Structure 1
Amino acid sequence: MTATDIQSPDPASKEASRAAANWLSAATAPWKKRATLSAALVIADVVPAIGFAAGLGLALGAIVPALADPGAASVLKAVTPGAALAVGSLLLRGVLGQAATLSASHLSQSIKSALRGRLMSGVFSGKLSDSEAMAAAVEGVDALDGFITRFRPIKTAAVVSPLVLIAAAAVVSPFTAGILVFTLLPFVIGMALTGMAAAAESRRQFVAMERLSGLFLDRIRALPAILAFQSETQQSRQIARASDELARRTSKVLKVAFLSSAILEFFSALAVALVAVYCGFNLLRLLPFPAPDVLTLGQAFFLLALAPEVYQPMRRLAAAYHDRQAADSAVPHLQALEQAAPAAVTRSINLHHAPALTFDKVTITYGDAAPVISDFSLTVPTGRTIALIGASGTGKSSLIHLLLGLSPLSGGQILIDGEPLASGEDLSASIAYAGQAPMVIPGTLEDNIRIALPQASTRQIMEAAAKAGLRGDLARNIDERGGGLSGGERRRLGLARAFLKPAPILLLDEPTAHLDAASEQALLAIIKQASEGRTTLIATHSDAVAALADTVVELS
Structure 2
Amino acid sequence: MTASFTAQLDAVARPWLQAMSPAGGRAVRTAPLWLLADAPAAVAFAAGLALAIDALPRGLAAAAPWLALLALAAAARGGLAKRAAEAGALAAAGVKARARQDAVASVLGGRVTGGEALSAVVEGVEALDGHVSRFAPARMAAAVAPLLVIAAVAVASPVVAGILLATLVPFGLVMALAGGAAAEESRRQFLALERLSGLFLDRVRALPLVLAFQAEGAVTRDLSVAADDLARRTIRVLRVAFLSSGALEFFAALSVALVAVYCGFNLLRLLPFPVPEQLDLKRAFFALALAPEVYAPLRRLAAAYHDRQAAEAAALTLAALPLPPPAPPTTSFDAPPALRFQAVTVTYAAGEASVFDGFDLDVAPGEVVALLGPSGSGKTTLLNLLLGLAPLSGGEVSIGDQRLSHLGSIAASVAWAGQSPVVLPGTLADNLALAHPGAAREDLVRAARAVGLDAVLDDRDGLDTRLDERGAGLSGGERRRLGLARALLKPAPILLLDEPTADLDATSEQALLPILRQAARGRTTLIATHSEAVAALADRVVRL
Q: Could you say which TM-score interval applies, normalised by the shorter chain? A: 0.5 to 0.7
Q: Give structure 2 stretches of 5+ with no counterpart.
A: none
- Structure 2: distance between partners of 1:441 and 1:295: 70
**Residue correspondence of structure 1 range 82-481 to structure 2 within 5 A:** 84-85=65-66, 88-102=69-83, 104-105=85-86, 108-109=89-90, 112=93, 116=97, 123=104, 126-127=108-109, 143-202=127-186, 251-283=235-267, 285=269, 287=271, 289-329=273-313, 339-340=323-324, 343=327, 349-356=332-339, 381-382=363-364, 383=367, 385=369, 403-404=386-387, 415-419=398-402, 427-441=410-424, 451-452=434-435, 454-455=439-440, 456=443, 458-465=445-452, 475=459, 479-481=468-470
SS in 1 for 2:421: coil
- Alignment CA distance shift 1:365-1:49 (3 Å): farther
- Alignment CA distance shift 1:452-1:36 (3 Å): closer
Superposed CA offset, 1:219-260 (max 9, x none)? 99999x9xxx9x9x99x9899969887766655443333222
Q: CA deviation at 1:316?
A: 0.9
Aligned residue in 2 for 1:482: 471
Q: CA deviation at 1:188?
A: 1.2
SS in 1 for 2:451: helix
Report the residue type matching 1:20 in the other structure.
Answer: V
CA contact (8 A) 2:432 2:444 kept: no
CA contact (8 A) 2:373 2:543 kept: yes
Report the residue type matching 2:14 in the other structure.
Answer: N
CA contact (8 A) 2:96 2:128 kept: no
- Alignment CA distance shift 1:303-1:183 (3 Å): same
Bigger drift between 300-309 and 482-491 goes to 482-491
- Structure 1: distance between partners of 2:301 and 2:359: 60
Backbone CA RMSD of aligned residues: 5.9
Superposed CA offset, 1:163-204 (max 9, x none)? 111112223333332222222122112112223333455556
- Alignment CA distance shift 1:217-1:59 (3 Å): same
SS in 2 for 1:352: coil
Q: CA deviation at 1:162?
A: 0.7
Aligned residue in 2 for 1:20: 12
- Alignment CA distance shift 1:408-1:265 (3 Å): farther
CA contact (8 A) 1:35 1:104 kept: no
CA contact (8 A) 2:372 2:528 kept: yes
Aligned length: 508
- Structure 2: distance between partners of 1:492 and 1:222: 38
SS in 2 for 1:263: helix
Q: CA deviation at 1:428?
A: 1.9
Aligned residue in 2 for 1:66: none
Aligned residue in 2 for 1:503: 492
- Structure 2: distance between partners of 1:43 and 1:461: 54
- Alignment CA distance shift 1:312-1:124 (3 Å): closer
- Structure 2: distance between partners of 1:360 and 1:116: 43
Report the residue type matching 1:165 in the other structure.
Answer: V
Q: CA deviation at 1:100?
A: 3.9
- Alignment CA distance shift 1:452-1:79 (3 Å): closer
Superposed CA offset, 1:127-147 (max 9, x none)? 266998887677666555444
Aligned residue in 2 for 1:48: 41
CA contact (8 A) 2:96 2:126 kept: no
- Alignment CA distance shift 1:484-1:550 (3 Å): same
- Alignment CA distance shift 1:94-1:16 (3 Å): same
CA contact (8 A) 2:371 2:543 kept: yes
Q: Give structure 1 stretches of 5+ with no counterpart.
A: 1-7, 64-74, 367-371
